[in-house]
Structure 1
Amino acid sequence: MRHYDLVVLGAGSGNMLLTEEFGHLRTAVVEPDRFGGTCLNRGCIPSKMFVIAADAAEDAREAERLGVHMSVAPVDWKAIRDRVFSRIDPLHASAVDYRRKNGVDVYTEEAHFVAPKVIQVADERITADTFAVAVGSRPVVPDIPGLDTVAYHTSDTIMRIDDLPPSMIVIGGGFIAAEFGHVFSAFGTHMTVVQRGPRLLMTEDEQVSARFTELASRRHRVLLDAEVTSVEPCGDGVAATVVSPRGEQVVEAAMLLVCAGRRPNTDRLRAAVGGLELDEHGHIAADDAYRTSVPGVWALGDAVNHFQLKHMANAETRLVRHNILHPEDVRTLTNRVAPHAVFTHPQIAGVGLTEQDARRHKVDYRASVRDYADTAYGWALEDTTSFVKVLADPAERTILGAHIIGPQAATLIQPLIQAMTMGLTTDQVARDVLYIHPALTEAVEQALLAL
């Protein structure tokens, strides 16, 4: 068996772990797919590059409200796709080459544990003093009768298709479905979204979720409280049987996209064989320092947390790097403020408690909602549907949660994230800070002043 000081399993956020500070150690990276992980190759980065193109198309269509009359010619799908992946695809080979040139062994076969701190990679067994498990996650493929008889896509494959389909069925109503629903609808594909719940984006604040469901339903067909019970081939496409309170119907489309969530890759790693304790969802159990149940084995990213957010994985990578290098000074990730954004149309961002969370957990709160339309910049946008919502503790006067739906939501929420992280009161953030006029940040200011 070959022995290392440190072995990193997974080259998404895991690849970021190895800085020059590890240069004196014998190290290896195991990655059976592409360096950069989901974010670079199949997730955050390519999808947002598609979203930018989709935003451009939608902005042109909506410009009439400003007195600007434009039309959108059929989009050049191949040009859009190739712009994305001509930037992304060469990075894998250069990353592998960089690691090997700098003394890191790279294994490109899939690995699995055969015992605690012992992995099998192809025909070789490897041990290490320290392991960092960052094997990520993959799309869930539900057990739908007939799914194995049709060609379908997940978020792993949909961005690389050769031709833009005239119609598409999307199974799921979460953030991945919302983003791809926006992209393909903007490009001219007739979309049908099948959502099991009563609204889209059910984990968002219910007011945001309801508003987005209303707006999405204007753009494409949305079937709520509905479930696909079977699928079958239909000509060159697919036919899905959908059951809802309104009865059973058959929906046909040229393409099927499955957006049913994601699952950690710990089963492929055989993490339990490696002695790693797992939770009921298959995530590795770890403490606030990201130590697992096996001494010397650390975990980070989608393999350990439920957020599925690259910025969380980045923070975890920095923490685990420090803790491996400085075992005498182990730090913990005490910041539990985990913001997120959905890059759909309109954009959505959230952090902290939702109103339904506060009610469920009997948390005393006050809420303030301010429309973009109440600000000068909202007037300039002719915006009638966007808003900022802030929840605060009436006794401590600190921010419990913030939720925004509308243009630039992911940027507008940042001062509220910082206020929550630093424990600032609503009074401090509302009255002790100057907000530029006329800018959309005035919607944030006005929501805080109302509190």
Structure 2
Amino acid sequence: MTHFDLLLIGTGSGNMFLDDRFSGLNVAIAEEWHFGGTCLNVGCIPTKMFVYPATIAEQAAEANRYNLSTDFHGVDWPALQKRIFDRVDAIESGGRDYRSGDRQPNVSVVAEHVEFVGEKTVRTASGETITADRIVIAAGASPVIPEATGLEPKLVDTDGYPVFTSNSIMRIPQRPERLVIIGSGIIAMEFAHVFAGLGTEVTVIARGPRLLGTIDEEVSTEFTELFERNHTVHRGAEVASYSFDNDQVSVTLRPSGRLGDVDLPAQLDADAVLIATGRTPNTTSLRVGDAGFDILDDARLSVDSRQRVLSQGRPVPGVFALGDISSPHQLKHVANHEAAVVGDNLAVDVAAGAPGSGAEAQLREVNHHAVPGAVFTSPQVAYVGITEEEARRAGHDVSVKVQKYADVAYGWAMADDPGIVKIVADRATRKILGAHIVGHEASMIIQPLIQAMAFDQRADEVAKGQYWIHPALPEVVENALLGLEFNDA
């Protein structure tokens, strides 16, 4: 048995807080996979490095809309992969070397899977038992693989098996000519854009009535309509079975029951299938239940507002969690914020002496207000706050304004590209409750609305209290704000 002052499980955002404040501790880092976690290796960063060239390719193919004669003639897939992963892999190996090398003699890397056998005890895959005074659990989430006849879940993401998740699809040696994507959420829509933009024939299978069905219904409907103009989508469908013939894969579909009667093809043949049906927290593989920790209905580890892990509703002394394994938001920027909170609270706890003895007044609380997100697909989608339906259910006297991109001069410059900005506000307080955007650079132009919500600014003050560059695209946000109606002061 080996004992440490601190055990850190996972090296995504969990690897960020471990700085000089903890140089006096004997630390173990358990990482069975890649240093840097999901975002660096298979998520935010490499996907956007594929999204950008796919967007350029799409623009080249459709430039006749702007009275230009350009074409897209194909992608050098191996060269694109090399440019992306040469950078990503160097960062991963650099992080691993830093934690494993002589520069941090107080840190030991445990490069294998661990699982809990007690509240502060884990066992490694090789059978070693590790105990620690304090533990930070930052082990992330993994792709969900729905069961279906003919599918071997253990073979997904392995060489020679043409069924992939986001963990492996970006590293396939050849770009597939035909790709079936199962799912209609963020991951599915981003990869649909990447592969379709780079020349693959993409077919999307969506169980629900709309794509991106968890966002505001009006915005989801707008996105679905725009996406279906250029992509093949089967809504209200799910996979019934898989079959394989050499390197090819075929799927049969059946109605999901969420869209009534639907007309579906008998079979879809493809070079590859991407399963993008969400991600689930890695609580089961860590066996956190054996430690007595509370687990929520959606498999997340239960934490309090200070990121302390709970057992029977009470904080476990010296045990914290962050990121996708516990967060209600599977977003890197949220995990980074939670990591900063954990780092500060852990430092207070260590300074206080015994685990769990840090004074409540000195501990930071996590801030999950005005959490934004974006989908880097075509067109882009961005959102912050609550939907119109949620606002009405919460009892707000709601004011809503939907503004078209084509209503502003920059929209004219884009040949009236489709897109909308929808803002939901409270008529009495004039505060922004939510904002939802579909269109060009949605992830950028939503930022003033995020800032307004974060700093509790009134919508009318944001609209009128600053300059808006004319004729830049953010004018569509300005006009949406100006279009809101409020009660008389």
Q: TM-score range by the shorter chain?
A: over 0.9
Select between 376-385 and 294-303 the one with higher mean Cα deviation: 376-385
| Contact 1:412–1:441 (8 Å) recurs in 2 | yes
Q: For residues 265-344 of structure 1, what are the structure 2 equivalents within 5 Å?
A: 265-293=282-310, 294-326=316-348, 327-328=358-359, 329-344=362-377
Residue in 2 that maps onto 1:63: 63
Residue in 1 that maps onto 2:112: 109
Q: For residues 198-217 of structure 1, what are the structure 2 equivalents within 5 Å?
A: 198-217=209-228
Q: What is the CA distance between 1:162 and its match in structure 2?
A: 0.6
RMSD: 1.3
**Partner Cα separation in structure 1 for residue 395 and residue 263 of structure 2:** 37
AA partner of residue 409 (structure 1): A
**Partner Cα separation in structure 2 for residue 360 and residue 183 of structure 1:** 37
Residue in 2 that maps onto 1:346: 379
| Contact 1:366–1:394 (8 Å) recurs in 2 | yes
AA partner of residue 77 (structure 2): W
Structure 2 counterpart of 1:225, from 221, 225, 236: 236
1:442 aligns with 2:446: no
Q: After TM superposition, which residue ranges in structure 1, 4 or more long, deviate above 6 angstroms? A: none
Structure 2 counterpart of 1:366, from 386, 399, 415: 399
Residue in 1 that maps onto 2:262: 246
**Partner Cα separation in structure 1 for residue 309 and residue 248 of structure 2:** 46
**Partner Cα separation in structure 1 for residue 378 and residue 262 of structure 2:** 28
Structure 2 residue matching 1:54: 3-state secondary structure: helix
Give per-residue Cα distances to partners, 1:338-380, cap 9 Å, x unaligned.
1000000111100011123224444331110111111111111
Q: What is the CA distance between 1:261 and its match in structure 2?
A: 0.7
**Partner Cα separation in structure 2 for residue 242 and residue 298 of structure 1:** 43
**Partner Cα separation in structure 1 for residue 17 and residue 282 of structure 2:** 19
1:2 aligns with 2:35: no
Structure 1 counterpart of 2:454, from 404, 421, 432: 421
**Partner Cα separation in structure 1 for residue 388 and residue 150 of structure 2:** 39
Structure 1 unmatched ranges of 5 or more? none
| Contact 1:200–1:212 (8 Å) recurs in 2 | yes
Q: How many residues end up aligned between the 2 structures?
A: 451
| Contact 1:234–1:252 (8 Å) recurs in 2 | no
Residue in 2 that maps onto 1:380: 413
**Partner Cα separation in structure 1 for residue 335 and residue 321 of structure 2:** 10
**Partner Cα separation in structure 1 for residue 263 and residue 69 of structure 2:** 42
Give per-residue Cα distances to partners, 1:279-310, cap 9 Å, x unaligned.
01211101010111222110000000131100
**Partner Cα separation in structure 2 for residue 180 and residue 230 of structure 1:** 22
**Partner Cα separation in structure 1 for residue 232 and residue 414 of structure 2:** 26
Structure 1 residue matching 2:290: 3-state secondary structure: coil
Q: What is the CA distance between 1:164 and its match in structure 2?
A: 1.0
Q: What is the CA distance between 1:235 and its match in structure 2?
A: 5.2
| Contact 1:185–1:219 (8 Å) recurs in 2 | no
Residue in 2 that maps onto 1:411: 444
| Contact 2:162–2:271 (8 Å) recurs in 1 | no
Residue in 2 that maps onto 1:169: 180
Q: What is the CA distance between 1:111 and its match in structure 2?
A: 0.5
TM-score (norm 2): 0.90
Residue in 2 that maps onto 1:397: 430
| Contact 1:29–1:107 (8 Å) recurs in 2 | yes
Residue in 2 that maps onto 1:93: 93
Structure 1 counterpart of 2:147, from 143, 150, 155: 143
1:189 aligns with 2:200: yes
Select between 185-194 and 83-92 the one with higher mean Cα deviation: 83-92
Residue in 2 that maps onto 1:129: 133
Structure 1 residue matching 2:309: 3-state secondary structure: coil
AA partner of residue 127 (structure 1): T
Select between 327-336 and 292-301 the one with higher mean Cα deviation: 327-336
**Partner Cα separation in structure 2 for residue 141 and residue 217 of structure 1:** 25
Structure 2 residue matching 1:273: 3-state secondary structure: helix
**Partner Cα separation in structure 1 for residue 179 and residue 368 of structure 2:** 40
Q: What is the CA distance between 1:275 and its match in structure 2?
A: 1.7
Q: What is the CA distance between 1:241 and its match in structure 2?
A: 0.9
| Contact 2:410–2:473 (8 Å) recurs in 1 | yes
| Contact 1:74–1:187 (8 Å) recurs in 2 | yes
Identity %, equivalent residues: 45
